[in-house]
Amino acid sequence: PPPSEPPPAVTPAPTRPASAKPENEIIKGICYAPVPDRHPRRLLNDDFMSSNTRAMWHTDGRGDLALIRSMGANTVRLYGNDPSRDHKEFLDEAHRYNMSVIVGFSDYPYTQMNGNCVATDFDCYAQVKEQFGANLRNGFLVGGPDGGVAYHPAIRSIALMNEPDLKMGKLSDPSAFSKALISAFDAVLDAERDAGVEIAAVGRLPNFTATLSFAVCRSCARFSTNPALGQMWELRVAMKYPQSWGYTPRNDLWTAYRTRFVNSFNTANPASDIRHMFLNSYDQHFEGTPVFIGEYHSPEKQVVLSEDLPAVLDIARDSSTLLQGIAFFEFQVRYDKGGPETMFGMFGLGDGILGDVLIGSSRFNVRCLVPMLPRVQRLQAATGCAMHPNTEYVFPAKWQKTLRGVDNPSDCCGRCSGTTRCRVWTWGPSGTGELTCTLRGSLPARPLDQRVNTATVSGASMPAKEIERMTPHLVAQAFGGAILDYGKLCLNSSAL
């Protein structure tokens, strides 16, 4: 058995913060896995940061990264990536908006490829070194001083695996995921050294992490009743005594852990649970190792998002804690997963087609985005755009504007809802056959103000109270971002 590792004796954290961390040090992230399909199905490739998916995240496409930044986020968290694809364009675009990136590994080397880690008794060194070496060659590195190489400045952290405690040996065998992670950590350190990073990085190196679940590990030696803490403790001891897990490292893992590693976990628990279930004990026993929440969102009925998000960020601001911040889960509804997983996304996919992307060997439409209400409001059958088919508004208004080239009524409604002065709208072909969207600043007052026209659709803007309840609005409010211009999105009530 590994040597006993007693917790260090430290003074408990004060109940009130003595000071606040600088605001720019708080992680205000958004999880980004914009699967472009509206049907439940398995996607064989989970790389959304390659040039193949540029039409979703680049400004010359749907502009997801610009949208995320406008909401006040300073970090975007990704999951898998295809090491054969180049990722420099994505990192450049994030850096252009002064955003950091938490890069993720796919499960491919761990559980999916032939000869994966499970097949090699959870020794992941060879599989991970090969994959990460390809990542370094395909965009993770840029030219450094003196002709050397350094990490791309947008990369903040690199997640070795998402929820390894649920995938590698599971919670009943913590030695399995611990060995997998220490061998993977060893591998990435060697891969970056082989690429010349150690010499040219001049002290600026991203941290590594392994994002654990918020499950309780009853088989762990310590903290067997605290979510996530038991797994983190097992990993900490494995980093210090790797031979006890049957692994002989090539690097000084304990030193690397203390200087290059941060802990992270996913949770659907609200802010009111974070201190007493996790952070109070973490601050006492993991001194010197920061932690962040890799997926944060509690969709339960009793949790008010407009109160919960500011509360958890206030915890992260407290300089007496090691919590660095959160990544909000998540940017887009995961239709591919189906079931309860569809209740988390801030945006759904509308009807408007903006382009297409190639993911793996399959081509998908890039659809416009629909702002989503939180789960509670969605379950209450919240209204979106009230659309009236076969109706045309024909009355003159003091303020009126006609937009050309608007492809569908959902987009027209979105333009109206995103325009302060607009009260009603009409979409349809003009006399020349061009599709137009006419916005009016007042409501129809007489029966003669509207007429039947089978080629048109009319409706009213979304009420301001509905816009203010939208999840993107609430996240932007908590992150200190701008009020979103929903007129640039498409509002489709069927997606709410």
Task: Assess whether pLDDT exceeds 70 at residue 6.
Answer: no
What's the rounded mean pLDDT across residues 109-123?
Answer: 94
- Residue listed under structure tokens 């491919």: 108
What does the block give as tokens for 18? 């003595």
Is 89 strand, coil or helix? Answer: helix
* Residue predicted with more confidence, 170 or 454: 454
* pTM for this entry: 0.81
- Chain segment 129-155, per-residue pLDDT in tens: 999 999 999 999 998 766 778 999 999
φ/ψ bin of 494: left (φ > 0), alpha (ψ from -120 to 50), beta (otherwise): alpha
How many residues appear in the chain? 496
Q: What is the largest CA-CA distance in the chain?
A: 86
Round to whole Å and give the CA distance between 476 and 403: 28
- Chain segment 427-465, per-residue pLDDT in tens: 999 888 899 999 998 888 787 888 999 999 988 876 655
- Chain segment 235-278, per-residue pLDDT in tens: 999 999 999 999 999 999 999 999 999 999 999 999 999 999 99
Least confident range from 5-14, 75-84, 185-194, 397-406: namely 5-14
Q: pLDDT band for position 4 (50/70/90)?
A: very low
Task: Assess whether pLDDT exceeds 70 at residue 492.
Answer: no
Report which DSSP code applies to 332: B
Mean pLDDT of the chain: 87
What one-letter code names the amino acid at 68? I
- Chain segment 322-355, per-residue pLDDT in tens: 999 999 999 998 888 877 787 889 988 877 789 9
CA distances to 83, 161, 292, 309 from 473, rounded to whole Å, are 35, 31, 23, 12
Nearest to 332 by CA among 100, 37, 27, 102: 37
Q: pLDDT band for position 307 (50/70/90)?
A: very high
Cβ atoms 197, 151 nearer than 8 A: yes
Measured at the alpha carbon of residue 186, what is the angle toward residues 99 and 196, in degrees to the nearest 5?
A: 65
What are the φ and ψ backbone dihedral angles of 437, each rounded to 5 degrees? -130, 115
Is 193 strand, coil or helix? Answer: helix
Cis, bond preceding 330 (omega within 30 deg of 0): yes
CA distances to 333, 359, 380, 410, 420 from 462, rounded to whole Å, are 21, 34, 16, 11, 11
Nearest to 443 by CA among 403, 409, 410, 397: 397
